Amino acid sequence: MPTASNPTADVKADDLAARAAYLAERIRYHQYRYYMLDDPEISDQAFDALFNELRTLEAEHPELRTPDSPTQRVGGVIAERFEKTRHPTPMLSLANAFSPGELYAWRERIQRLLSEEERMRLAYVVEPKFDGLTVVLHYTDGRFTLGATRGDGEYGETITANLRTVRVLPLQIPADPASDLSAPTRLVVRGEAYVDKADFERFNQKQMAAGERAYANPRNFAAGSLRQLDSSITATRPLKLWVYQALIVEGAPQPASHWEALAYLRTLGLPVCQDMRRFTDAEFDQLAAYVEAFGERRHNLPYEVDGLVIKVDSLFMQEELGFTGKDPRWALAYKYAGEEAVTTLLDIVVNVGRTGAVTPNAVLEPVPVSGVIVKSATLHNEDYIRDLDIRIGDKVVIKRAGEVIPKVLHPLPDLRTGSERVWTMPAACPVCGAPLVRPEGEAATYCVNNACPAQLVRAVEYFVGREAMDIAGFGIKQAELFVELGFIHDLADIYQLPWEQIRKLDGYGDKRVEKLQAAVEASKTRPIHRLLTALGIRFVGAVVAETITQHYHSLLELARATPEQLSAIEGIGPKIAASIHEYFSVPTNLALIDKFARLGVRVAEESPSAPVGAQPLAGLTFVVTGALPTFSRDEAHAFIKAHGGKVAGSVSSKTSYVVAGEAAGSKLDKARQLGVPVIDEAALRALAQ
Ligand code: IVH
């Protein structure tokens, strides 16, 4: 350390400290642009250069490293256990309503408790009820100093180090270093940490592919990720955050209403959801209609929402209304009935997947859940059943959220009669009789027989699916039937089905067979990234397949690639590379590619650089945001690329069009700001014609 008697060292140390502060400030600014505004200003490489310089500087001079340095987001703090933090105000819960009647009854209660003058000014804020984990965040003089879970409402667990790794959480406020707003001296906010549905599915799929434990739902995943004792694990999880309540504001003008408070938090750069609406009391019917309509719309949001929260806007009136027990009178959680149901678990059967992994499935006493009769649900794996002590004969709570497969959430042990049976994983595959094996350290159990017909059925189902070869009219039913009848022994047999014989099958009339045959024919000329996806190689989904086929224009060429060559491709890590290499080193797999080629399936792009079909979108750059009516995000991207257009992740003056769907957020605002034309899905399709 420099001392006063060593002026040169002093100057140098000052320089270094100034450099570190400068780097930290630039990094914060660029992270803010990247994560919060979704509008990066510099390239990833330029950003990495700043980041690496700071990291090196801090490694050489640890005294320069502050807890809120941007380098600390990668975690690394390993706790023995979590300390307790007392919350500044009790963390209340919410009363629930399940019907419009209860919503109106709540309003009447409020009206009764307020004066006439107040009733005139009464207004409500309606916001999504985010289904994650409550967190309480403390900022002191603009720095993020403490973060805690809700705990028992009075004391929470201190998870500051873990929360620091959440990218959208600003470590300093205002998050935009260029802002001229001064930081409040003290700010405590409440929010919800969560994981997007797609990120959750992606993570779980990876876990399962690696034979590791899958999480039951995004909420558990978020909770599990935040409660890691090693914060570097948390840092690898795709956690996000919405802030929805200012608990304490000091050293800044006091907001008069919740709506104002949200706006203030937003200007500080805290992540506040845009999907919030304010209604006056006179507009209560509109509010009720909005609540009703949201029941459907919420399924299109990228994150899980289990209802809406309706809050009285005025903070003064909130105070006046006070609480009953643990619930504030001024807020109400509106939940959509029918999402969850209770039924009897009749049996547990196992299904064999295309990788041979067997998953236990619940056979349920049929029960209606949000308009659909549910008869089966997933039980994930052996550990899930054991950990939750789910027994055959139990009454269980099941949940059906949107389009996803229903899940068994937990049993209701209080309702047991004593006749329930503990389930154990069978020793043999129910389909082929081969032994079932659970590899050491893995959560999944596998059927060891590669030729197991159940695996083949699943592999065929995946092959013909929308993401893969997209063969219309071909689904699990056809896969089962054709495998069962011995028409399909490997994937290539799909291209030499005995159509004459199929015509004789029950339910397979001439028209239907013709259509099916035409669909199979049409799939032969799909771009090779689809065939590569369809093969079902571990870790090679649609996105990876597309990336690879930009470098390898033939599957036989790909088969010769070394793992080193493959992992040199941006976006292809060593695990994917090894998996592809392993796949093509199996002789039967090579023979399969050969068989595809013989049967006329495209295994190489004819002219790699020549555009396939017309390119009406050539020269145009698109940004897709929000939920589109029929395309998923990936499909929209694929559609644009297939028609010669480019896809960008963020809006800039170079963007030609922003394609916006429902619940589009900051990208849409940005487009408007820059005057970039905004179009919908229909207009995109029209442009591509
Ligand atoms: S307000 C006293 N707003 O729902 C007000 N809560 O069932 C308390 N939640 O534990 C909370 N989204 O974690 C509020 N927009 C939102 C919310 C929200 C999710 C959670 C919160 C609470 C639970 C209550």
pLDDT one-digit tens code per residue, 221-259: 999 899 888 888 899 999 999 999 999 999 999 999 999
Residue 603 has pLDDT above 80, yes or no: yes
Q: Which residues have a Cβ under 8 Å from the Cβ of 485 and sit 6 or more positions away?
A: none
Task: Report whether residue 93 contacts ligand 1, using a CB cutoff of 6 Å.
Answer: yes
Ligand 1 centroid to Cα of residue 134, in Å, is: 8
**Residue 250, strand partner residues:** 186
What is the model's pLDDT at position 96? Answer: 85
Distance between CA atoms of 11 and 17, rounded to whole angstroms? 10
Collapsing DSSP to helix, strand or coil, 86 comes out as: strand
- Tell me, rounded to whole angstroms, the distance of Cα 222 from its chain centroid: 10
Give percent helix, percent strand, percent coil of the chain, each to the nearest 5: 40, 20, 40
What is the model's pLDDT at position 2? Answer: 36
409, 396 in Cβ contact below 8 A? yes
What is the model's pLDDT at position 4? Answer: 38
Task: Report whether residue 276 contacts ligand 1, using a CB cutoff of 6 Å.
Answer: no
Task: Report whether residue 333 contacts ligand 1, using a CB cutoff of 6 Å.
Answer: yes
The gap between the terminal CA atoms of the chain, to the nearest Å, is: 68
C-alpha dihedral, 588 to 594 to 595 to 599, nearest 10°: 170
Task: Report whether residue 131 contacts ligand 1, using a CB cutoff of 6 Å.
Answer: no
Distance between CA atoms of 396 and 341, rounded to whole angstroms? 8
Task: Report whether residue 127 contacts ligand 1, using a CB cutoff of 6 Å.
Answer: yes
For the record, the structure tokens of 198 come out as: 């797609």
Distance between CA atoms of 469 and 520, rounded to whole angstroms? 9
Phi-psi region of 66 (alpha: psi -120 to 50; beta: other; left: phi over 0): beta
pLDDT in tens, 556-585: 889 989 999 998 888 788 888 999 998 898
H or E element in which residue 190 lies: strand 186-195
Q: Nearest to residue 494, comparing CAs of 448, 543, 456, 526?
A: 456
| Ligand 1 atom nearest residue 131's Cα | 19
Annotated catalytic residue 504: no
pLDDT in tens, 195-223: 999 999 889 888 777 767 678 778 889 99
> What does DSSP assign to residue 53?
H
pLDDT in tens, 156-192: 999 999 999 999 999 999 998 888 899 999 999 999 9
For residue 660, how many other CB atoms are within 10 A of its CB?
Answer: 22
Residue owning the nearest CA to atom 23 of ligand 1 = 93
Ligand 1 centroid to Cα of residue 247, in Å, is: 13
pLDDT in tens, 314-349: 999 999 999 887 789 999 999 886 578 889 999 999
- What average pLDDT is seen over the chain? 88
Task: Report whether residue 130 contacts ligand 1, using a CB cutoff of 6 Å.
Answer: yes
User: Residue 594, class by beta-carbon neighbours within 10 Å (0-12 exposed, 13-18 middle, 19+ buried)?
Assistant: middle
Distance between CA atoms of 318 and 244, rounded to whole angstroms? 15
Collapsing DSSP to helix, strand or coil, 388 comes out as: coil
Ligand 1 centroid to Cα of residue 260, in Å, is: 18
Residue owning the nearest CA to atom 17 of ligand 1 = 129
Cα 142 to Cα 19, 289, 605: the distances in Å are 21, 40, 56
Confidence of residue 404 (pLDDT cuts 50, 70, 90): low
For the record, the structure tokens of 610 come out as: 């020549």
H or E element in which residue 499 lies: helix 499-503
Distance between CA atoms of 32 and 84, rounded to whole angstroms? 30
434, 448 in Cβ contact below 8 A? yes
Residue 610 has pLDDT above 60, yes or no: no
Which of 130, 137, 308, 310 has most ligand 1 atoms within 8 Å of its beta carbon, as the pocket-test mutant? Answer: 130
Cα 607 to Cα 544, 552, 553, 616: the distances in Å are 21, 12, 8, 19
For residue 289, how many other CB atoms are within 10 A of its CB?
Answer: 12
Structural domains of the chain in order of their starting residue, each with its CATH number: 13-72 (1.10.287.610), 96-334 (3.30.470.30), 340-422 (2.40.50.140), 453-523 (1.10.150.20), 528-598 (1.10.150.20), 612-687 (3.40.50.10190)
Q: What is the mean pLDDT of residues 360-370?
A: 89
Ligand 1 centroid to Cα of residue 571, in Å, is: 38
Q: What are phi and psi for residue 551, nearest 5 degrees?
A: -105, -30
402, 172 in Cβ contact below 8 A? no
Q: What is the mean pLDDT of residues 635-658?
A: 83
For the record, the structure tokens of 506 come out as: 């029950």
Q: Which residues have a Cβ under 8 Å from the Cβ of 328 and sit 6 or more positions away?
A: 92, 94, 318, 321, 322
DSSP per residue over 291-344, as a string? HHHHHHHGGGSSS-EEEEEEEESBHHHHHHH-EETTEETTEEEEE-TTSEEEEE
DSSP per residue over 541-565, as a string? -HHHHHHHHTT-SBHHHHHT--HHH
303, 197 in Cβ contact below 8 A? yes
Which of 89, 93, 303 has most ligand 1 atoms within 8 Å of its beta carbon, as the pocket-test mutant? Answer: 93
544 or 36: which leads in pLDDT: 544
**Which listed residue (12, 84, 129, 654) is catalytic?**
129
Q: What is the mean pLDDT of residues 389-401?
A: 90
Residue owning the nearest CA to atom 13 of ligand 1 = 134
Confidence of residue 611 (pLDDT cuts 50, 70, 90): very low
- Block residue for tokens 């876990």: 207
Task: Report whether residue 94 contacts ligand 1, using a CB cutoff of 6 Å.
Answer: yes
Q: Which regions of 414-518 does DSSP assign to beta strands (E)? A: 421-422, 436-437, 445-447
185, 140 in Cβ contact below 8 A? yes
What is the model's pLDDT at position 3? Answer: 37
Residue owning the nearest CA to atom 18 of ligand 1 = 129
What is the model's pLDDT at position 11? Answer: 52
Residue 42 has pLDDT above 90, yes or no: no
Residue owning the nearest CA to atom 16 of ligand 1 = 129
- How does strand 133-140 pair with strand 143-149? antiparallel
